[in-house]
Structure 1
Amino acid sequence: MSAAAVTWPFSALEEAGHVCGFSLAELTPFGMGHCACFAVPSMGLFVRVGHSGNEQQAVNAVAFAAACAPVVDGIISPADIGIPQPLRTPDGPVTFWPLLQKEEGDVDYTWLGTTLRELHAVRDIEGMKVVHRQTNPALKAARLRSLKAAPHVPDWVVAACDKMMSNIQELRERVMPALRSGLIHGDVYPANVARTVTGSFLVDYDTAGAGPIYWDLAPAMVSHRRFGTSAESLDRLYAAYGEDPRDDESFWDVVRIREWGAITYLIDQAAKSEIYCEELVTRLIGDRPWRSLDELRQHTSMGTETGR
């Protein structure tokens, strides 16, 4: 193997393969971001590789899944690979999950409401030590530096992002401590709901743990306001959950934090891509519909960047 190939995540995957008995040639990539995801179809495994330094995040995900799967139908247990998880490698933690056979279809919001109600009702699980992770304010300076260095990013966009990230931090500090907390998934967007022939499941537990329950109920409202999810879907979700948060002003504060967070995510990409910068501007300046990340990835993968 060439030296170029033995880099993250492949260096960690190579060690995982030695332990579990698969080769890198068997892997099917599923995407890279804050972690790298691969399938091993021959073994029925879904493999997630975190960056070095994110070991606790992987520990939290495994602990959450192992504790909640027996009592919440929509949570998946980690795969049994015969060794404790996560597998710790010098190049990042590796976790292993059952490979789901997904099928096409919209999110079942009645199912989602029921699943979130069951999850939020979980109490006092022995060994549960996970803590809900919030956005690290220390990232703000680095993000602003990357925007300022990008020649295609106007100065007013940098200033608007600076103000928005300050507003997020202020709102978090003022609102979040007073909210009712429970055990939450932490990232309940449609991309993290997997429909399969045996039912639906919430996946991706990297931000699961103790946190405000509105954190799980707000993403559906963001999807409605920004991506066209129907009002009827919201009604089904909150009816199945047994509580409608829309009459609580603090819920709308969480919606605002979640929407700003969805804008903040684009800052890193906007510094490198004019397509993402255009979407960042759209999200900053008004109430126009947003393009999904899948749409943006499709545009960039098809070579539709300005200047290509």
Structure 2
Amino acid sequence: MSRSEESHALLLKACADTGLSAAGAEPIRIGENALWRLPHQIVARIARPGQAAAAARELAVARWLHDCEVPAVQPLDHLREPLDVDGHPVTFWHELPPHRPGTATDIAPLLRRLHELPVPAIPLGYLDPFVRLAARIDGATTLDSEQRQWLRDRLTALETAWSSLPTGMLTSVIHGDAWGGNVAVTPTTAYLLDFERTSLGPPEWDLTATAVGYGTFGTVSDSEYAAFCDAYGVDVMAWAGYTVLRDIRELRVTCFALQHAAADPARHRAEAHHRLACIREQNGPRPWGWAAVG
């Protein structure tokens, strides 16, 4: 059974349990999490096993943002908790109007509003930027032993650096994965999406996502980055702790590519190993022009 077929089977069970119709359900994205479009402008989100607490937190964060008048995708009112379907948490959301992904200038005002909010009475926990990295390194089958050990040593060094970051902005609620794909822009409104990694942490972590797009990937232009900094009011690249957060993000997206390379070497090995060579300082200075993976 393919991942899509397995996901569809879970969707049918979830809809049967909730009384929602799955007639003509269309896959939006089948990845680590699966999104399905249902009738009546409803979207089902099927998460990985073991993610029930994260799914419940996503629902709570979305409702809290709505109460704070921050535009965000909203869950169905009558389904207050994730549904457990064979160990997979399933949540249901209102579909947004037709939209495009966000740009750096779309993201900045939303992040500023989010970071200024009082901390809610939701068990958010503190950001762990290293989640799943050790497992991804261990499972990266395209690595040789020397490359794997380098990544393990790099992870250890960055964990140490993270524990002693210099003083920055005050801890706040952060999105955790603040890139353009997690902002949906309609003709009238920009909405935040995907609260799987929302937590307490340094606001600089959210800002670093766009800074890495600019300085590492080369996908954010000079003018776009300047507009992002102007809209938010801070240039995170000027902060003394920026290089630590940048290096952690670069390690994360390299390990993400290596995970894909293990599953499909023909498609993803070249990009994953290009990224690895870059963070090992073997491919010249940034930006490195990394290509999207996924």
* Letter in structure 2 aligned against 1:161: L
Change (3 A) 1:192 1:223: same
Residue in 2 that maps onto 1:247? 238
Runs of 4+ off more than 6 Å: 3-7, 176-179
**8 Å Cα contact 1:63-1:130 kept in structure 2:** no
Match of 2:180 among 165, 190, 199: 190
Partner of 1:116: 111
Alpha-carbon deviation of 1:155?
4.2
Aligned twin of 2:193: 203
Q: Call closer, same or farther: CA 1:97–1:198 in 2, change over 3 Å.
A: farther
Give 1:171's aligned residue. 161
Q: Quickly say closer, same or farther: Cα 1:190–1:176, change in 2 above 3 A.
A: farther
Instruction: Give the Å deviation of 1:55.
Output: 0.3
Report the TM-score when normalising by structure 2.
0.85
After TM superposition, give the deviation of residue 45 of structure 1 in Å: 1.0
Counterpart of 1:143 in structure 2 is 136
Number of aligned positions between the proteins:
283
Deviation of 1:207 (Å): 0.4
Amino acid at match of 1:89: V
- Structure-2 residue corresponding to 1:276: 268
Secondary structure (helix, strand or coil) at the match of 2:163 reads helix
CA change 1:242–1:144 in 2 (3 A) is closer
What are the superposed Cα offsets for residues 185-219 of structure 1, whole Å, 9 maximum, x if unpaired?
A: 11011111212233221211100121111111000
Instruction: Give the alignment's Cα RMSD to 1 decimal.
Output: 2.7
Q: TM-score, normalised by structure 1?
A: 0.81
Q: In 1, Cα distance between the equivalents of 2:206 and 2:48?
A: 25
Q: In structure 2, how many angstroms separate the alpha carbons of the residues matched to 1:144 and 1:262?
A: 12
Note the residue ranges of structure 2 that are not aligned, 5 or more in a row.
Answer: 279-285
Residues in 2 aligned to 1:39 and 1:157: alpha-carbon distance in whole angstroms: 41
1:122 Cα deviation from its structure 2 partner: 0.9
In the TM superposition, residue 263 of structure 1 has moved relative to its aligned partner by 1.0
Q: Report the counterpart of residue 260 of structure 1 in structure 2.
A: 251
Is contact 1:157-1:281 (8 Å) kept? no
- Determine the structure 2 residue equivalent to 1:90: 86
Query: Separation in 1 of the partners of 2:2 and 2:111?
Result: 43
How far apart are the structure 2 equivalents of 1:236 and 1:5? Answer: 40
Report the residue type matching 2:290 in the other structure: W
Partner of 1:289: 289
Q: Contact 2:57–2:124 (CA<8 Å) still a contact in 1?
A: yes
Instruction: Measure, in 1, the Cα distance between the counterparts of 2:2 and 2:35.
Output: 19
What residue in structure 2 maps to residue 46 of structure 1?
43
Pair 1:34 & 2:45 matched: no
Cα 1:137–1:187 shift into 2, 3 Å:
closer
Counterpart position of 1:102: 98
Give 1:73 shift. Answer: 2.9
1:220 aligns with 2:210: yes
Amino acid at match of 2:180: P
CA distance in 1 between partners of 2:61 and 2:209 (Å) = 20
Question: Taking every aligned residue pair, what percent have the same amino acid on both sides?
Answer: 21
User: Offset of 1:51 from its aligned partner?
Assistant: 1.9
How far does residue 269 in structure 1 lie from its aligned partner after superposition?
Answer: 1.4
> Alpha-carbon deviation of 1:118?
0.8
User: Secondary structure in 2 aligned to 1:134?
Assistant: coil
Range with bigger deviation, 86-95 or 180-189: 86-95
Distance 1:237 1:4, change over 3 A: closer
Output the CA distance in 1 between the equivalents of 2:26 and 2:85. 21
Please state whether the residue corresponding to 1:97 is helix, strand or coil. strand
Provide structure 1 residue ranges, at least 5 long, that are not aligned to the other structure: 298-308
Contact conserved, 1:132 with 1:209, CA < 8 A, in 2?
Answer: yes
Query: Residue type matched to 1:192 in 2?
Result: N
Which secondary structure does the structure 2 equivalent of 1:118 belong to?
helix
CA offset digits 1:99-158 (Å, max 9, x no partner): 123334x73433422211110011143x42222452556752x434433xx4x5444433
